[in-house]
Amino acid sequence: MQEANMGTSELPHQKKIMNRSAPAATIVPVLIYEDVDKAIEWLCRAFGLSERLRASGAGGRITHAQLSIGNGDLMIGASGAEFRPPHGEEVSQYVLVHVEDVDQHFEQAKRSGARIVDPPKDMPFGERLYTVEDLAGRRWTFSESIADIAPEQWAPSEFSSDSEIRALDCAPRFTGKVLKGGN
């Protein structure tokens, strides 16, 4: 498989600028919340994220923040105009975070009031993972590597439920049907 090299090559005369006001990660999801200040506090307490910075808008309302966990970053923003947090039972995206001890992390999230979607379980592709919803109803899956499994050693047909398959929607060998909410 050939890898894409879009926008990552540098000419010898180009200098890479490190901007201390921007996250260093290559991909940075931006999640929208009704109350950014409350989201910062909850995400740091429940999921162990660290606050990098926060910015205020008119009236001192927190409108933007950058959070980090491990070598990953995310931004959170205030709802407004076309930007809205999830509503209802729809799941159009979720955040996947690798942690060192998924069971300990699960207990902290549960103590902090995260709604449990799927408790920790071992998966045949070498990960132990769980899924919860945050205070805005957004889904987060936390995963710990427990074995090194080659992609060709497992296949989605081995799973017994749609929820197990949903946990893999980015898996390299997944070629099944488009999954919708429900069973």
pLDDT at 81: 83
Q: What CATH number is associated with residue 164?
A: 3.30.720.110
Residue 74 placed within a domain = yes
Sheet strands side by side (includes 62-69): 30-33, 72-78, 62-69, 50-56
pLDDT at 121: 97
Residue 178 placed within a domain = no
- Answer yes or no: pTM beyond 0.85: no
Query: Tens digit of pLDDT for each residue in 37-85?
Result: 999 999 999 999 999 999 988 888 899 999 999 999 999 999 888 888 8
Q: What are phi and psi of 97, to 5 degrees?
A: -130, 130
98 and 35 in a common domain? no
| Domain extent for 31 | 26-79
Beta-bridge partners for 78 = 33
Over pLDDT 70: what percentage of the chain?
A: 77
Residue 176 placed within a domain = no
40 and 111 in a common domain? no
Residue 179 placed within a domain = no
Task: Answer with the one of 37, 52, 79 that is the final residue of a domain.
Answer: 79
Q: pLDDT under 70 in the chain at which residues?
A: 1-14, 155-183
pLDDT at 11: 54
**Count of domains forming the chain:** 2
117 and 67 in a common domain? no
pLDDT at 28: 92
